[in-house]
Structure 1
């Protein structure tokens, strides 16, 4: 129940949802002929939707997340002592390449796939991703499947039961890495961050860029991560007080 409630609340706190709510209130007051309030809410909704789709603003929100951990390089492989590569669910196409690259360079490792059967899926994401890895040449014996965890915290708890305190390589999107690392470290685990989809430097958009869907997507990702970080801080604080 708590998991579902968290998902519902976070959906309403997403930037586009907030913009639609402001727009709805503006139209509500407009049809009720409360023109002054309608003007306020319609103006605020327009400004809000413009801002969340404005690339310089969306980039300023997501950049601190994406640059918190540097990507692993070939030179750093010699210093890695880990037998497991945890491929977090959520974006196989964006994350799998790094897990495969690590698997081929670090001999004797195993890839752990994770992810439950979300609404609309008959098969858990962990199994789907494992099948994809097998189809591109990863031996089935070198893949461990964790199909029960529904979020990052449950993934951390499950990994702790599976490998204990052994170090492992954590593969996830760069913007998600700060929250994932905080959760895994809180569980007493020893993750080695391997962020994927790391943005290229020097590609900052011009100030005169036009609002677009990609910027809205980046703003949504940033909101989701910052809300998650705040939620974790709140849970940690309440547990320490109690």
Structure 2
């Protein structure tokens, strides 16, 4: 129940959930019946209703603007780019965090790669380049449906890595972790068992700042970030704004609302880590 609540409650802090909640509160605050405009209590309730509903609509609109989502995503991806070193050192293992794959359940013919599938592809590439002898696929089963037939994501990722040509003896799995904090804890324990000192951490760029904060606090390992799956080109490579582009950036868009939500989740998690733990430092060769 605690894990379920940890997934559900934050939804009310993101633009869609919070905006709808404010609109519901606005409906509840609206005066009942026809009422008389001269009634002070009715007038105050009507004003409160309009304010709550308008704020809810405005919040959803703001989160759904491409202009907003770009700024939020850039704020994370620029940090990730700065964290990732130009020359990667050798390490004891490449750790690929869960996310970005779909299980081989019918009618699919095998494991399928979604938006974040760059994580696994990048991890396999690093092992093939000889930067580490082992690939660790991570990710548990996160499902709230009964009798879900999908195995933990770490197993699908292992299967796909083998299909991509990586030998089975060079792949380890971490199938029990459902959150980034649990991944940091469990991979840290795996590293202590095997005598590791350094790992290459592969995840999406927007997820990297929070992942680094988590792993540096919880894993006990030296963690070298390897960011991938960038959602946007850098600001300098985005192009010059035009009238059409500016207008389009102000009109609500479903994909922009999704990206804003993803970015806010990461910014919120990162803020909590910075308030709860000692400051963390970017990895530096030494």
TM-score (norm. length: structure 2)? 0.74
Question: Alpha-carbon deviation of 1:184?
Answer: 1.0
C-alpha change, 1:162 and 1:13, in structure 2 (3 Å) is same
Is 1:109 matched with 2:118? no
Aligned partner of 1:141 among 156, 164, 169: 169
- Between the two structures, name the one with larger relative contact order (CA 8 Å, sep ≥ 6): 1
Inter-partner Cα distance in structure 2 for 1:88 and 1:26: 41
Which protein has the larger Cα radius of gyration, Structure 1 or Structure 2? 2
**What CA RMSD, in Å, does the superposition of the two structures yield over aligned residues?**
2.3
Runs of at least 5 residues in structure 1 that lack an aligned partner in the other structure: 238-242
- In structure 1, the residue matched to 2:17 is 17
CA contact (8 A) 2:79 2:209 kept: yes
- In structure 2, the residue matched to 1:83 is 92
Query: What is the DSSP-based 3-state SS (H/G/I as helix, E as strand, rest coil) of the residue aligned with 1:208?
Result: helix
The within-5 A match list for 1:97-176 is 97-106=121-130, 109-119=133-143, 120=145, 121-122=148-149, 123-164=151-192, 165-176=196-207
- In structure 2, the residue matched to 1:57 is 68
Inter-partner Cα distance in structure 1 for 2:8 and 2:274: 19
Inter-partner Cα distance in structure 2 for 1:27 and 1:66: 39
- In structure 2, the residue matched to 1:70 is 81
List per-residue Cα deviations over 1:106-151 (Å, max 9, x = no partner). 2652110111111144311111211122222222211101111121
CA contact (8 A) 1:15 1:223 kept: no
Inter-partner Cα distance in structure 1 for 2:18 and 2:246: 24
TM-score (norm. length: structure 1)? 0.86
Question: Alpha-carbon deviation of 1:87?
Answer: 0.6
Deviating more after overlay: 17-26 vs 205-214: 205-214
Aligned residues: 234
C-alpha change, 1:194 and 1:230, in structure 2 (3 Å) is same
C-alpha change, 1:208 and 1:136, in structure 2 (3 Å) is same
Query: What is the DSSP-based 3-state SS (H/G/I as helix, E as strand, rest coil) of the residue aligned with 2:80?
Result: coil
List per-residue Cα deviations over 1:6-28 (Å, max 9, x = no partner). 22322222221111112222333
Deviating more after overlay: 102-111 vs 43-52: 102-111
- In structure 2, the residue matched to 1:27 is 27
Inter-partner Cα distance in structure 2 for 1:149 and 1:231: 20
CA contact (8 A) 2:191 2:221 kept: no
Aligned partner of 1:219 among 260, 266, 270: 260
Query: What is the DSSP-based 3-state SS (H/G/I as helix, E as strand, rest coil) of the residue aligned with 1:168?
Result: strand
Question: Alpha-carbon deviation of 1:191?
Answer: 1.1
Query: Runs in 1 of length 4+ with deviation above 4 angstroms?
Result: none
Inter-partner Cα distance in structure 2 for 1:144 and 1:40: 54
Is 1:208 matched with 2:247? yes
Is 1:189 matched with 2:221? yes
C-alpha change, 1:172 and 1:31, in structure 2 (3 Å) is farther
Query: What is the DSSP-based 3-state SS (H/G/I as helix, E as strand, rest coil) of the residue aligned with 1:207?
Result: helix
Inter-partner Cα distance in structure 1 for 2:276 and 2:270: 10
Question: Alpha-carbon deviation of 1:220?
Answer: 0.5
Question: Alpha-carbon deviation of 1:2?
Answer: 4.4
